[in-house]
Amino acid sequence: MQQVQRSAGRSSSYVEIAADLRRRILAGEWKPGEQLPSHRELCKEYGAASSTMAAARGILVTEQLLDSRPGARMVVRVPAKLRQVERTGPAAAPVALPLRAQEEQAGPVGEWSSRTRSVSAEPEIAQLLRVEPGARLVETQYLHRVAGRTTRLSTCWEPRELVDGSPVMLPEEGPLAGQSVEARMASLGVGPLTAVDMLAARPASPEEGQHFVTRAGSPVLQVTRVYSSEDGRPVHVERTVVRGDRSGMVYRLPTR
């Protein structure tokens, strides 16, 4: 790759600057965990405007080569060990692991917080649960942190008419608090269940970027699991989002 001519009286494009910085990082000029020169120093070195340098560095942040830290210099990213999240489901085991058990197997046990509320079904979730848009659902949102960093955002939805007034209406309270979806639904006489996972890689939303301490647009992995009863009726939707550069999903599938 041809090196960008620096301090030669001409201004390079942000794409050219990003390419040269990428080359220098991969060549080991700055080691993982080391800071790059300041924004001002890089602008002077490349003869670039501040906005041009910001755009160049933004490319490398999106590529996961740099970490952006508010009020500090850019730091070469230290490769992170992937958290391998267990996604075994009822097709391969008696029950699927509850969310908390999945995280316990993935690595260090962190802190959970959850919130349950009644919501109106948005069109996408309504379609997955085969209910009318606007139908009442019970929504539970989960946030998992390890060492102060968010590792997983999960949201679950169930038709309110199915769980309303039952001991399992609040998934994290009552006699089956924190238990698997299969156990909770079995207490309502619903089962056996099947589960289907739909995986998608996409850019992080601004809100997700704040949770994961990364830029909006950085890659995240989204897994949407739909649990259905024996007659094919969807009874539970779980959507999990994790950082694409720090987490992977492990599936254990039956061979017969």
In three-state secondary structure terms, 196 is strand
Residues with Cβ within 8 Å of residue 46, at least 6 apart in sequence? 4, 6, 7, 11, 12, 17, 20, 53
pLDDT of residue 236: 96
CA angle at 168 for the pair 166 and 171, rounded to the nearest 5°: 145
pTM exceeds 0.85, yes or no: no
CA 45 and chain centroid, separation: 37
pLDDT of residue 256: 60
Residue pointed to by tokens 């909770």 = 184
pLDDT of residue 179: 86
pLDDT of residue 117: 94
Cβ burial 7-28 (10 Å sphere, 16+ → b, else e):
eeeeebebebbbbbbbeebeee
φ, ψ at 114 (rounded to 5°): -145, 160
pLDDT of residue 94: 47
In three-state secondary structure terms, 29 is coil
In three-state secondary structure terms, 247 is strand
* Domains along the chain with CATH numbers: 14-76 (1.10.10.10), 83-250 (3.40.1410.10)
Edge-to-edge order in the sheet of strand 194-203: 111-120, 136-146, 149-159, 234-243, 219-228, 194-203
Residues recorded for the chain: 256
Task: Please give the Cα distance from 97 to 103 (Å, whole number).
Answer: 10
Task: Please give the span between the terminal C-alpha atoms of the chain, in angstroms, as a whole number.
Answer: 51
| Tokens found for residue 94 | 């008696």
pLDDT of residue 211: 83
pLDDT along the chain (256 residues), means of 10: 47 85 90 89 92 89 77 76 64 52 59 91 96 96 85 93 93 87 92 89 85 76 93 94 82 68
The Cα diameter of the chain in Å comes to 76
| Tokens found for residue 252 | 């254990």
Q: Are 253 and 92 in contact (CB under 8 A)?
A: yes
